[in-house]
């Protein structure tokens, strides 16, 4: 089912017209209400009344996480305090969190965005959705919560943690939609296996995963283990939370809610806007946000945009699975390495678990990449040479994908971090 | 044939202590063990009183464990007794993957040598008719 066919199947011209109209409104809104943007637009001699085409947006400087931090907490809000009805914040693992606010209309728009993604994934009224994201400042849980309710699904706000209880609820409440990070879905399946729970008997049919990216291989692995359709959705608190884009069962990329967000792809080094289909850093401008509009936010996420028609009938542009973050990218011996490339090799490989860690070290002046994997198959314990052969195979596969020699280390099962939140896969000791 | 336990252990301080600690808690006696030079990891081979119970205990701890069948040979403590066994293996064209030996005052033999033979099934076939004092699992079970 398409939640809002009028916009989700609109012609490209119509989408562009809506975007242009809303972009001008947003420019006027921030110019009038946020000194930070007013100064910026004035500095590049582009107050809103001088904008003549969508291309003018490209002349406006980017907004960065640092900008958000320096106006902590409310400096970039565009409405009077009394109109704000909700406040969220990013996890703030490094320094102060970034704070975002929502008006009543923003919350409605957020539910609308998520409702579309729920239908896109195949969700409907009558579904029972278990939200295993942590409720709190993080936007993931409440974002999905209201969108699912809007569609008519029953929401179980179980929050994160207590995996055994999660599995009990999943069985007893007959959960049909699981909402969590892909890492946690994997951990749930692993725990279920350990507890001897028959996954075939679950009512679960759809996974709506987000909060961190995951590879196609990981998606297949979770589908295999849980016997469900795995879909990914994308968003970030700075622009809204979940609801920017999501996958339909055809998995041709994540359909973007283009009437609410304008997406650009730039070269992360030069900042230059790249042509359709090119891979680069995603930059987002909100088109309808009231409390916390944002112009050209640098997400640091690496992806690409695609416009070919999807079989599901939606005409919206789609973004590819996020390959990594431009600040996650490791440069090892001059080679660019994304953890997702390693994941694509490790997940689904025989004899080892889908968990991994990258450790980057210096040996003298040389960078060394260690890839740690867990040996879970006891069949190879017959002989030491079998284990060495496994190490060599993993190493050769990684070389094929990374073009880089790395040191593979077999670890004992359970030594890699299992998490309900975003997995930390990289340890850079340089 | 006797049962041997193989445990995957990472090469870092405390790992062997943890494995032996688990067995200690479960009251499982170790008759013999062997672990060779390793790099990042090794395979710890153990002969214990109750291999299946030991496997269950270690699995419970999340370790990667396997029981395998190996060959036990009883020897007397005098020059040439090991040589005579190895000579028989050579005659039968059987090679050895690894081996280790242990002794115990409570045994009816002076020593037991544990062999893991290359291509064990065929090797045993080849050794039929050769004079080798094999021991069976009962001997291990009855050891004190």
Quickly state the pLDDT bin for B135 (edges 50, 70, 90).
confident
Given CB atoms, is A409 within the 8 Å cutoff of chain B?
Answer: yes
Q: Give the distance from residue B133's alpha carbon to the nearest chain A alpha carbon, in angstroms.
A: 24
A364 and A385 belong to one structural domain? yes
A322 and A336 belong to one structural domain? no
pLDDT above 80 (res A207): yes
pLDDT above 90 (res A409): yes
* Residue that terminates a domain, selected from A276, A291, A326: A326
A168 and A140 belong to one structural domain? yes
Report how far residue A342's alpha carbon sits from residue A215's, in angstroms, rounded to the nearest whole number. 10
Of residues A276, A176, A173, the one with CA closest to residue A226: A176
A240 and A384 belong to one structural domain? no
Q: Answer with the residue of higher pLDDT: A317 or B121.
A: A317
| pLDDT at residue A330, rounded to an integer | 87
Helix B15-25 to helix B51-60 angle (10° resolution) is 120
The answer to whether the CB atoms of A411 and B10 lie below 8 A apart is: yes
The answer to whether the CB atoms of A381 and B36 lie below 8 A apart is: no
Q: Give the distance from residue A341's alpha carbon to the nearest chain B alpha carbon, in angstroms.
A: 24
pLDDT above 80 (res B13): yes
Average confidence (pLDDT) over A298-302: 94
Q: Which of A376, A378, A410 sits opposite B40 (nearest CB)?
A: A410
Quickly state the pLDDT bin for B133 (edges 50, 70, 90).
confident
Of residues A238, A186, A287, the one with CA closest to residue A67: A238
- Strand positions, DSSP E, A219-295: 229-236, 241-247, 254-256, 261-266, 280-286
pLDDT above 70 (res B9): yes
CATH number of the structural domain spanning residue A27: 3.40.50.12780
Domains of chain B and any CATH numbers:
2-66 (3.30.2130.10), 70-141 (3.30.70.260)
Looking at beta carbons, which residues of chain A come within 8 Å of B62? Answer: 412-414
pLDDT above 90 (res B40): no
Average confidence (pLDDT) over A232-248: 96
Query: How do residues A302-324 score in pLDDT, each as one tens digit?
Result: 999 999 999 999 999 999 999 88
A298 and A391 belong to one structural domain? no
Which helix or strand (DSSP H or E) is residue A208 part of? strand A206-209
The answer to whether the CB atoms of A378 and B66 lie below 8 A apart is: yes
A79 and A156 belong to one structural domain? yes
| pLDDT at residue A63, rounded to an integer | 97
Report how far residue B119's alpha carbon sits from residue A83's, in angstroms, rounded to the nearest whole number. 78
Looking at beta carbons, which residues of chain A come within 8 Å of B8? Answer: 375, 378, 381, 387, 410, 412
Q: Which of B10, B66, B68 sits opposite A412 (nearest CB)?
A: B10
ipTM score here?
0.80
Average confidence (pLDDT) over B103-122: 84
Please enumerate in sequence order all residues whose Cβ is within 8 A of that of A420, keeping only pairs 6 or more positions apart, or say none. A132, A134, A160, A161, A180, A181, A184, A187
Q: Is A151 exposed, middle or buried (0-12, 13-18, 19+ CB in 10 A)?
A: buried
Which helix or strand (DSSP H or E) is residue A330 part of? strand A330-332
Report how far residue A23's alpha carbon sits from residue B118's, in angstroms, rounded to the nearest whole number. 73
Report how far residue B37's alpha carbon sits from residue B41's, in angstroms, rounded to the nearest whole number. 9
Looking at beta carbons, which residues of chain B come within 8 Å of A378? Answer: 6, 8, 64-66
pLDDT above 90 (res A255): yes
A253 and A313 belong to one structural domain? yes
Query: How do residues A380-400 score in pLDDT, each as one tens digit?
Result: 888 888 899 999 999 999 999
Structural domain harbouring A235: 1-326
Q: Which of A382, A383, A412 sits opposite B64 (nearest CB)?
A: A412
Number of independent structural domains in chain A: 2
Query: How do residues A74-116 score in pLDDT, each as one tens digit?
Result: 999 999 999 999 999 986 655 678 999 999 999 999 999 999 9
pLDDT above 90 (res A365): no
Average confidence (pLDDT) over B86-102: 92
A422 and A292 belong to one structural domain? no
| pLDDT at residue A336, rounded to an integer | 86
8-state DSSP, B16? H
pLDDT above 90 (res B143): no
Q: How far apart are the first and last CA of chain A?
A: 50
* Residue that terminates a domain, selected from A309, A326, A343: A326
Q: Answer with the residue of higher pLDDT: A394 or A325.
A: A394
Q: Answer with the residue of higher pLDDT: A298 or B139.
A: A298
Percent of chain A with pLDDT over 70: 98
Query: How do residues A267-276 score in pLDDT, each as one tens digit?
Result: 998 999 999 9
Quickly state the pLDDT bin for A408 (edges 50, 70, 90).
very high
Q: Answer with the residue of higher pLDDT: B140 or A203.
A: A203
Provide the 3-class DSSP secondary structure of residue B27: coil
Report how far residue A180's alpha carbon sits from residue A237's, in angstroms, rounded to the nearest whole number. 16
Query: How do residues A128-183 score in pLDDT, each as one tens digit?
Result: 999 999 998 999 999 999 999 999 999 999 999 899 999 999 999 999 999 999 99
The answer to whether the CB atoms of A415 and B41 lie below 8 A apart is: no
A357 and A256 belong to one structural domain? no
A35 and A175 belong to one structural domain? yes
Query: How do residues B64-86 score in pLDDT, each as one tens digit?
Result: 999 999 999 999 888 999 999 99
Query: How do residues A51-60 score in pLDDT, each as one tens digit?
Result: 999 999 999 9
Quickly state the pLDDT bin for A61 (edges 50, 70, 90).
very high
A90 and A31 belong to one structural domain? yes
Mean pLDDT comparison of A8-22, A403-417, B49-63, B91-105, highest-scoring range: A8-22
* Residue that terminates a domain, selected from A303, A326, A349: A326
Of residues A406, A405, A409, the one with CA closest to residue A390: A409
The answer to whether the CB atoms of B41 and A410 lie below 8 A apart is: yes
Q: Give the distance from residue A216's alpha carbon to the nearest chain B alpha carbon, in angstroms.
A: 28
A155 and A294 belong to one structural domain? yes
Quickly state the pLDDT bin for A206 (edges 50, 70, 90).
very high
Q: Which of A378, A409, A414 sits opposite B65 (nearest CB)?
A: A378
* Lowest-pLDDT choice from A267-276, A287-296, B35-44: B35-44
Average confidence (pLDDT) over A413-430: 83
CATH number of the structural domain spanning residue A371: 3.30.300.30
């Amino acid at each position: 089912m398409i939640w809002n066919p009028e916009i989700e199947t609109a012609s490209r011209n119509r989408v562009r017209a809506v975007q242009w109209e809303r972009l001008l409104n947003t420019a006027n809104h921030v110019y009038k209400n946020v000194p930070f943007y007013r100064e910026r637009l004035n500095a590049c001699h582009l107050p809103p009344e001088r904008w003549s085409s969508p291309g003018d947006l490209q002349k406006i400087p980017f907004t960065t996480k640092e900008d958000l931090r320096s106006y902590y907490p409310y400096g970039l809000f565009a409405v009077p305090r009394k109109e704000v009805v909700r406040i969220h914040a990013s996890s703030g693992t490094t320094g102060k969190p970034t704070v975002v606010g929502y008006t009543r209309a923003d919350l409605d728009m957020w539910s609308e965005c998520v409702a579309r993604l729920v239908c896109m994934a195949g969700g409907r009224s009558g579904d029972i959705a278990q939200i295993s994201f942590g409720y709190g400042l993080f936007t993931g849980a409440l974002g999905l919560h209201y969108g699912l309710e809007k569609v008519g699904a029953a929401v179980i706000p179980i929050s994160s943690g207590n995996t055994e209880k999660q599995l009990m609820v999943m069985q007893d409440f007959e959960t049909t939609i699981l909402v969590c990070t892909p890492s946690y879905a994997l951990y749930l399946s692993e725990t279920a296996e350990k507890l001897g729970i028959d996954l075939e008997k679950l009512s679960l049919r759809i996974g709506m995963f987000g909060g961190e990216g995951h590879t196609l291989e990981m998606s297949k692995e979770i589908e295999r283990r849980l016997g469900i359709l795995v879909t990914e959705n994308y968003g970030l608190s700075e622009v809204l939370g979940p609801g920017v884009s999501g996958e339909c069962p055809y998995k041709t990329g994540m359909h973007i809610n283009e009437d609410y967000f304008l997406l650009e792809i730039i070269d992360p080094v030069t900042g230059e806007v790249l042509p359709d289909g090119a891979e680069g850093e995603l930059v987002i401008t909100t088109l309808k946000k009231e409390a916390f509009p944002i112009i050209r936010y640098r997400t640091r996420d690496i992806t690409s945009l695609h416009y070919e028609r999807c079989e599901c009938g939606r005409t919206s542009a789609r973004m590819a699975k996020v390959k990594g973050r431009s600040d996650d990218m490791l440069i090892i011996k001059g080679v660019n390495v994304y953890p997702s490339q390693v994941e694509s090799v490790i997940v689904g490989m025989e004899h080892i678990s889908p968990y991994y860690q990258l450790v980057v070290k210096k040996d003298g002046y040389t960078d060394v990449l260690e890839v740690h994997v867990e040996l879970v198959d006891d069949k190879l314990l017959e002989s030491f040479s079998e284990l060495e052969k496994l190490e060599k195979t993993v190493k050769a596969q990684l070389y094929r994908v990374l073009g880089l020699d790395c040191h593979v280390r077999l670890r004992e099962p359970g030594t890699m971090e299992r998490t309900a939140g975003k997995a930390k896969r990289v340890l850079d000791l340089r | 044939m006797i049962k041997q336990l193989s445990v995957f252990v990472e090469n870092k301080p405390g790992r062997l202590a943890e494995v032996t600690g688990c067995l200690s808690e479960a009251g499982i006696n170790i008759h013999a063990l062997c672990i060779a030079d390793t790099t990042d990891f090794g395979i710890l081979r153990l002969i214990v009183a109750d291999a299946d119970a030991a496997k269950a205990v270690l699995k419970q701890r999340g370790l990667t464990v396997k029981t395998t069948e190996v060959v036990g040979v009883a020897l007397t403590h005098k020059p040439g007794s090991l040589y005579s066994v190895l000579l028989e293996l050579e005659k039968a064209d059987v090679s050895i993957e690894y081996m280790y030996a242990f002794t115990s005052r409570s045994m009816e033999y002076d020593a037991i040598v544990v062999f893991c033979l290359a291509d064990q099934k065929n090797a045993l076939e080849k050794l039929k008719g050769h004079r080798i004092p094999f021991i069976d699992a009962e001997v291990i079970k009855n050891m004190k």
